[in-house]
Amino acid sequence: MKLALLLYPHQNIRYRASLLQIARVEACLVLGALGMDTDVVPETIGGAQFLTFETDRMPSEREMQMLWQMASVYMIFSVEGNQMLPLPSQAPDYIGEDLPLLLKYKGKTNEMFTDSMLTMALAASDYGRNLDAQLIVLDPMAGKGTTPLLALRRGFHGIGIEISKASVEEMAAYMDRYFEYHRIKFKHQQSSLTVRGKNGGLQHKWVFSDTTEHFKDGDTRSLRMICGDTRNTLAYLKSTSVHIMVTDLPYGVQTGTAGKEDGILGTVSMALPGWYDTLKSGGVLCMSFNTHTIRRDALVQTVHHAGFTVIETENLEHWVEQAIERDVLIAKKERMQE
């Protein structure tokens, strides 16, 4: 049988071509995680862009949930001859779909791209098929928190580490407004952090649930936004406490963390040992970066040196805008290395 994945359109025609490239790799990783060794083929049907693939059976309900979690997928159809039958969605949002979308700011990465990175990381990890698990997703260079908010939307726990106090405070104010406007029961706590006996930053923590009943029963999710230096990740979080890491490295930054003259690659190099130790075995780190400021081979070497194994995919390098050519690197903490 044949399945067709209808992709979300994008108003920018040049970026639309990039999204097709990303969506195909996303689909290949998800199908690989499902044990479906099949070709994914781009097709234009009725003027709309699809990815199609052949399978010898209808995917189970659980497998369909994984397909529906692909960020680039708008609808899924089964194809028989000239007929296309839409299949019901299997991926309801835990919290409002608008949560990662409403907070707008200069330099924000397209949410669909970040969500695609999250899907790819899950599919490449040992945890992607456990859809009922309350996984913990960390963005160690979080900006204003798009990645952890996308994690919350899927029903995971989200953590962000960001050195900019202004960014963290803006995100914190947004979260309070969002919960209050949508009348979502929540608790918000602030606390100071200590690193090696000194002030190491500030943490905002929210505990909430999708329903009031679940909140009363203790069936909750959490969001932590840490204002601090990503090189101190292991001081903020427990060892082997995170399942997935997804981060969009700064595109135009020439200096490193807190203005240090080490370059963004230098900051990542210093942070990676802590990221590695914080990640669970079988977990995955997915990073996007600007090839004009970081060479892929240098980043691969740095990641290998920290103990990760790079997951090989088809080419993910793509145009974003002037002076930004973006690529994605996916790396796994293998179980044998723990």
Amino acid identity for residue 241 in this structure: S
Tally of domains within the chain: 2
Residues in the chain predicted with pLDDT less than 70, given as ranges, are 11-15, 105-108, 253-262, 336-338
Residue 245 DSSP one-character state: E
So what's the pLDDT on residue 17? Answer: 74
Task: Please indicate, yes or no, whether residues 77 and 156 belong to a single structural domain of this protein.
Answer: no
What is the rounded CA–CA span in Å between residue 1 and residue 333? 36
Question: Which backbone phi and psi does 14 adopt, to 5 degrees?
Answer: -65, -40
Q: What is the CATH number of the domain that holds 78?
A: 3.30.70
Predicted TM-score (pTM) of this structure: 0.93
So what's the pLDDT on residue 273? Answer: 97
Task: Please indicate, yes or no, whether residues 198 and 317 belong to a single structural domain of this protein.
Answer: yes
Which pLDDT tens digit goes with each residue over 101-160?
Answer: 888 766 667 888 999 999 999 999 999 888 778 999 999 999 999 999 999 999 999 999
Q: What is the CATH number of the domain that holds 225?
A: 3.40.50.150
Whether 94 is in a domain gets the answer no
Radius of gyration of the chain from Cα atoms? 20
Task: Please indicate, yes or no, whether residues 123 and 225 belong to a single structural domain of this protein.
Answer: yes
So what's the pLDDT on residue 198? Answer: 83
Residue 70: which domain range?
Answer: 2-86
So what's the pLDDT on residue 11? Answer: 67
So what's the pLDDT on residue 255? Answer: 46
Task: Please indicate, yes or no, whether residues 315 and 271 belong to a single structural domain of this protein.
Answer: yes
So what's the pLDDT on residue 251? Answer: 82
Nearest to 151 by CA among 224, 83, 85: 224
